[in-house]
Structure 1
Amino acid sequence: MSTSTHHRAVVSGRRKALVALAGLAAGAAALPGAALAQAFPTKPITIVVPFSAGGTTDILARLVGQYLSTELGQPVVVDNKAGAGGNIGGQFAAKAPADGYTLFMGTVGTHAINAALYKKMPFDHLKDFAPLSRVANVPNLLVANPKQPFSTVPEMIAYAKANPGKINFGSPGNGASPHLSGELFKSMAKVDLTHIPYKGSAPAVTDLLGNQIAIMFDNMPSVIPHVRSGKLRAIAITTAKRSPELPDVPTIAEAGVPGYEAMSWFGMFAPAGTPAPVLAKISGALAKVLANPEVKKKIIDQGGEPVNETPAQFGAFIRSETTKWAKVVKESGASLD
C-alpha cells in the first residue's frame, strides 16, 4: 500500500469513528428523558402536605403514598409544611427541583381559593405546578360540641342572631375550603360568627372537643370518627346531596339555607418543568392507585368520593374552580394579606 493510500485509509477510518461517536452522542442527547423515566425512581419520593398531620390532606396523602410506593418500588414519605392557608407548603413544593422526587397534595384552597383570597401569593397555582389527578372530592361537615345549645341549622341561626359574634367557628386555616364554607354560611344565613383559624385540622378539632370553640366547618374525614363516637354533633353537610356515610345528616340547603353548596377537593401535583416521561410514569402509577378497589373503599369510608382523571381533565377542572371561588371570595368580602 502506498503512503498516500495508507493516509487516506487512516483519515477515512477516523471519519467513520467520529461519525459513529457523533451518532452515539446524538443518541445519548435524545435519551435523557426516556432513560430518566426508565430509571425513575432511584430514591425515596416526598409528598409535601401543606397542612398539619391528622387532617384530611394528610390522611389522603398517606393513603395514596402507601400504594404509590408499591407501584413505583421506592418509599414515599409525607412532609407536613403547614401555615398561611397552605401557601407555605405550596411555595416549598413549587420551588422544589422538578425531577419527580417532590410531589404536592394540593387542595381547593391552594389551587383555587387562595389566589383570590391573598393579596400576595408566593406561587402561581396555574403556572408553577403540573397537575396529575384529583384524588377525592370531600364534603365539609358542620359539627358542634355537644354542650352547645343548638343541634340543628335553624336553632344555630336563631342562637347566632340572639348572640351576635358569640359563636366561634374554627377552621384548618385562613382560605381553606372549610373557612370559605363558614364565610359562605355567614353571608347566606345573615349571621355574625367569629372565625378562629388554626394551623391545620387536628389542633382545631382538639379545641372543638374541649369546647374551646363552639362549631367547626371541616372536611368530613377529619371529624367523622368523632361524630360516630358521639364526641361531636353533626349538624349539617355542605354539599348539595346528603352523604351515604351519614345519611341522617341533612344538607345545609335543605336545613334552612336554600342554595348553599360548598365542597373540598384534593389532588396530586408535581412542580412545573418536571420531564414529561417522568410525569407520565408518576401519572400512570397514580391512575393504578386510584383505580385500586382498596384505595377507593378507604376514601369512601372516610366520607370522600374517589376521583381518577387525566392531567388534562384535572387542569381544566382547576381553571373552572379558580373562576368559581374567585366569585365566592369577592361576594364574601374575605381578604388576607
Structure 2
Amino acid sequence: MKVFRYKKGIVLLLIGLFLLALVLAGCSGKPQSPSTGQGAKEEKPTVKFPEKPLTLIVAYGAGGGTDITARLLAAHLEKELGQPVNVINVTGGGGWNGWSQLAHSKPDGYTIGYINVPNIFPGYLDPKVKRPENLESFAVIMNHVTDPCIWAVKGDSKYKSLQELLDDAKKNPEKISFAAHGVGGDDHLALLQVEKVTGAKFKVVHNDSTSISITQVLGGHVQVLGANVSEVFNQHKKGELRVLGVMAEKRSEFLPDVPTFKEQGLNVIMSVSRGIAAPAGTPKEILDILTSALDKATKNPEHIAKAKELGLALDPIKGEDYKKFLKAEEQRIKELMGW
C-alpha cells in the first residue's frame, strides 16, 4: 500500500514538473511584434488609385491632331486604369488656357493633360509675355507622339512645289496667306524659320484648331496650310490637299511620295511632340501608376495599329529621359527665337 502511494506521488510530481515546463516554455516563446522581431518586414501602404474617372485636358480644339491623339489614348488608357478617361478641350491663349488649367489642378492624379512641344515654350520664354507658369509647373510623365510639320496647299493649287511657292512669296511679300495653329506654335515657329532662311514673307492667319485651318484652305479662303503629318495625310492621299514638304530628317512613312524640306534645299526641322503631364506636386506613387498604365496602353497592339491608321508616329519617352528631352527642346527654341 505504501509502495502504491509512493509511486502515485512520483507520477503526480512528474506531471506537475511537465506542466510547469510547458508554462515556462510558453512564456519564453512569446511571439515578437513585427516591428521589433528579427528579420521582420514593414508593410508599405498601397495607394488606391484610381477610384473615380480621370480628366484628360487637350489645349486645342476638337478634330485637331492633339484631340485625335488624346481620344485614341483615352480608349486604351481607361482599360488599364479600370476607370473612364474623359477628354475635355480647353482652347484659346495659344494653348495656355488648357495648360494653365492643368498646372493649377489638384495634384491628385485625376487631372492629366497633353503638353505640346514646342508650342508650350513661347508662353513663358518670351519676355514680353511674363507668364508665371513654366515647365516646372508640371510633373511630366511620358511623351506619346511626335508629329512632323508640313506645308500643304489645296489639291488644285497652282503651286506644285515648295520652291514655286517660296519664289512667289518673295516676289509678293505678305500677299500669300498662311494658316497656322496659334502664335508660337510649331506651325508658326516653322514658318518663322523658313522666312528667316529664305527671305519670303507670308500673311499669317492664326486659328485655335488645325481643323479650322484645313477648312479655310479647302474652301479657298487661305492659300497655304501649316500643319502636321497626321492631320493631312488622308486628304493628301485623296488629292484634296497637296503636301509640298515635310520638316523631318527623313521622309514620313505616311507620306512616302513627299520630299523633306531638307531634300529641297532648306535645312528646317520642326515637329510637335505630344506628351502627358500632371500638375506639379502629384505624388510619385500615383505618377508611377500612371506611367505604368500609359506604357501598357501605348504598347497595346490595337493602339499601335490604330495609331498607324491615323498617321500618328508613336514616340514613347518616359521619366527622366522625357525631362531631358523637354529641357533640350526648351533650350533649342530659346536659342532659335533669341529669348
Q: If the TM-score is normalised by the length of the shorter chain, which range does it land in?
A: 0.7 to 0.9
Given that residues 107 and 267 in structure 1 are in contact (C-alpha distance below 8 angstroms), is that contact kept between their aligned partners in structure 2?
yes
* Cα distance change of structure 1 residues 83 and 71 upon mapping to structure 2, 3 Å threshold: same
- Write the deviation string for residues 114-173 of structure 1: whole angstroms up to 9, x where unpaired: 333463254533211011110011111111123432110111111112221111111121
Given that residues 56 and 86 in structure 2 are in contact (C-alpha distance below 8 angstroms), is that contact kept between their aligned partners in structure 1?
yes
Residue matched to 2:18: none
Q: 1:248 aligns with which of 239, 257, 265?
A: 257
Q: 1:296 aligns with which of 295, 304, 324?
A: 304
Distance 1:171 1:232 in 2: 16
Which letter does structure 2 place at the counterpart of 1:197?
A: H
Distance 2:97 2:130 in 1: 10
1:151 aligns to 2:160 (yes or no): yes
288-297 vs 244-253, which moves further: 288-297
Q: 1:273 aligns with which of 266, 281, 287?
A: 281
Q: 2:293 aligns with which of 278, 285, 291?
A: 285
Q: How does 1:32-111 map to 2 (within 5 A)?
A: 34-35=45-46, 37=47, 39-111=48-120
Residue matched to 2:40: none
Distance 2:203 2:127 in 1: 19
Residue matched to 2:215: 206
Distance 1:220 1:123 in 2: 32
CA RMSD of aligned residues (A): 2.0
SS of the residue corresponding to residue 98 of structure 2 reads helix
Q: 2:191 aligns with which of 165, 179, 182?
A: 182
- Give the share of equivalent positions with the same residue, in percent: 30
Distance 2:119 2:201 in 1: 26
274-283 vs 224-233, which moves further: 224-233
Q: 2:316 aligns with which of 305, 308, 318?
A: 308
TM-score under structure 1 length normalisation: 0.84
Given that residues 153 and 217 in structure 2 are in contact (C-alpha distance below 8 angstroms), is that contact kept between their aligned partners in structure 1?
yes
TM-score under structure 2 length normalisation: 0.83
Q: 2:173 aligns with which of 134, 151, 164?
A: 164
SS of the residue corresponding to residue 307 of structure 1 reads strand
Number of paired residues? 299
Gaps of 5+ in 1: 1-19, 21-29, 332-337
Deviation at 1:326, TM superposition (A): 1.1
Distance 2:239 2:164 in 1: 20
